[in-house]
Amino acid sequence: MATYRVRHDGWTPQRQRAFLRALSETGSVRDACVRAQISTTSAYRMRDRSMAFDRAWRRAMAKVAPTIEQAAYERAVLGWEEPVWHGGKIVGHRRRYSDGLLRLLLTRGVGDARRDGEEAIVANMATQAETDAMLIARIDGMKRRIEAEKAQQALPAPTPAVTNRAEQQGNGDAGDADRGTAGAVRHGDGPRIWTLSG
């Protein structure tokens, strides 16, 4: 609580406690001021003057948030019973739900989740130097890959594969009979691969 000279009709410790109790119950500064019999201007001025009162104010508001959210959740999701009247008599009950509160809860939940996600992103964010180093490494990798592809394209076409030394020495005609390569035939339109028949 504030530790300065107080007026008898001002922010006495009892009045501060009454205000903070009402604030934690209602979440409304105006309603808390009415209960404590003090003006809202005076309440905000007191909060600006006293760090202890400001901390107590924030604690009171933190207590009220779950209470209000719980009430809003119950009304939006669980609903409430409403009597159905016909001819001046109750003929039944129906459950009503608040779509507006549900929408509010959803947007607040999404906003909180987004804010939490943004805080996590900021905490895990790389520095400018780290980002630059990563980008330079990626660019260097791309350059090496492009140079390797160009070097591969500049190589001469591969020579036909041979299956044995005899094929390498002959050309597959009848004159190669003494070398054991007679009847070598080329198959298909693919690379030049010579095989022995027979």
Amino acid (1-letter code) at residue 90:
I
What are phi and psi for residue 83, nearest 5 degrees?
Answer: -70, 145
Helices (H), the chain: 13-26, 29-36, 40-49, 51-73, 99-123, 128-154, 165-169
pLDDT of residue 92: 92
pLDDT of residue 132: 80
Tell me the C-alpha distance between 125 and 132, whole Å.
13
Compute the C-alpha angle 18/23/25, nearest 5°: 100
- Average pLDDT across each block of 10 residues of the chain; the chain has 198 residues. List them in order: 62 88 86 89 90 90 75 81 91 88 75 54 69 84 88 74 54 52 50 60
What are phi and psi for residue 86, nearest 5 degrees?
Answer: -150, 120
Closest by alpha carbon to 45, among 37, 54, 36? 54
Closest by alpha carbon to 84, among 71, 99, 97, 94? 94
On whether the CB atoms of residues 68 and 27 are closer than 8 A, the answer is yes
pLDDT of residue 142: 87
> What ranges do the domains of the chain cover?
13-69, 112-152
DSSP 3-state assignment of 90? Answer: strand
Task: Give the length of the chain.
Answer: 198
Supply the pTM of this predicted model: 0.36
pLDDT of residue 77: 81
Tell me the C-alpha distance between 170 and 183, whole Å.
10
Strands 185-186 and 194-195: antiparallel
109-119 residues labelled b (16+ CB within 10 A) or e (exposed): eeeeeeeeeee
Sequence-ordered list of residues with C-beta below 8 angstroms from that of 50, at least 6 positions apart, any chain: 1, 2, 4
pLDDT of residue 111: 47
